Each structure stands twice: as structure tokens, then as C-alpha cells.
Amino acid sequence: MPRIEKTLAMRVLEGQCVPYEVIVFPDTIHDAHEVAEYADLPPENVYKTLVVQADDVGFKPMLILVAADRALDLKKTAQAVGAKKVHMSRHTDAERLTGLKVGGISALALLNKGFTVYLDEWATLLDFIVVSAGQRGLNLKLGVDDLIRVTGAQVIEVSM
């Protein structure tokens, strides 16, 4: 197996002594459901990181983590964050805002970059969670509580 360059997300976890496992998959896969299938993981444990923006003034862009087998409910999201209306960022906007490619957007790689991080409450029922390592083709498996602690994620109900 080729040597894996450490991503910022991996260095962040190591700096906080958080154990994690690297999951490698073809970087042509940009979809959390396909990652779950490829890595033989339950889709409810593999999370996608969505870039969401409020239509209201004064809201920072948000990173919302939702399981591969669930969909973001924009009405629930707006209500949970206290906005009138929210929308998903287009791929080009998400990449411009984060500096990361879609399929590799990671809350762990975007700490202190001005994003509010939210985690769908379903994650709190899990033993582990799989999230992007900050680049396509690499995900990280870690404890849900560790992810919440490191990212400062707020747990809210946002999926259907």
C-alpha cells in the first residue's frame, strides 16, 4: 500500500490524541454512499459534509454532517439554526468557500476558518463515524464524541 500523506485533519486529530483509522478509496468516488459501499461500511456511519448557507444576513456558511443514507431537510435546518431559509451551496461555491474539492470537504480540516459545524443528531446513536480527511480518496473513522469535541459541532435534527 502506498504511503499516505497526512492531511490537516489527521494532524488535528493526532494533536488532540484522538485515535482514528484511515479509509482509502478511489478519488473518483465523491459520494458518501459509494464510499460506504466500497469500504464495506454501513451507510448510516459514513457522513457527508454539506456546505449550507442561510439566506438571512449575518449567518456564516455552515458545515452540516449528514449520514450517507439520509437527506438534508432544509426546513428543519433553517429552524434548527434560527434562520428564515437556508440553501445548499453549489459545488463551485462550496469549493470556493472551503478551498477543498467536493468529495473532500472536511470539518476537521476547516477548524478556525469561520464555519459553524453542525452534526445530525442521528450520529449520537453510533459507535463510530466516518468523515472526510480533507481530500478525495481519504476518510477517517473515529469516535462520534471525539468528532464533536474536536470540531465543536452542535448536534441538531436536520435529516429525513
Q: Distance between CA atoms of 144 and 61, rounded to whole angstroms? A: 22
Model pLDDT, residue 58: 86
Q: In the predicted model, is pLDDT for residue 3 greater than 80?
A: no
Under CATH, to which class is 8-156 assigned? alpha beta
Q: Distance between CA atoms of 52 and 94, rounded to whole angstroms? A: 8
What's the pTM? 0.94
Q: In the predicted model, is pLDDT for residue 1 greater than 70?
A: no
Burial of 88 from C-beta contacts in 10 A (0-12 / 13-18 / 19+): middle
Instruction: Kindly report, residue by residue over 9-46, the tens digit of the pLDDT.
Output: 999 999 999 999 999 999 899 899 999 999 999 999 99
Q: In the predicted model, is pLDDT for residue 112 greater than 80?
A: yes
Residue 66 contacts residue 102 (beta carbons within 8 Å): no
Match 490537516 to its residue by C-alpha cell.
8
Strand partners, 140: 22, 131
Match 438534508 to its residue by C-alpha cell.
72
Residue 4 contacts residue 11 (beta carbons within 8 Å): no
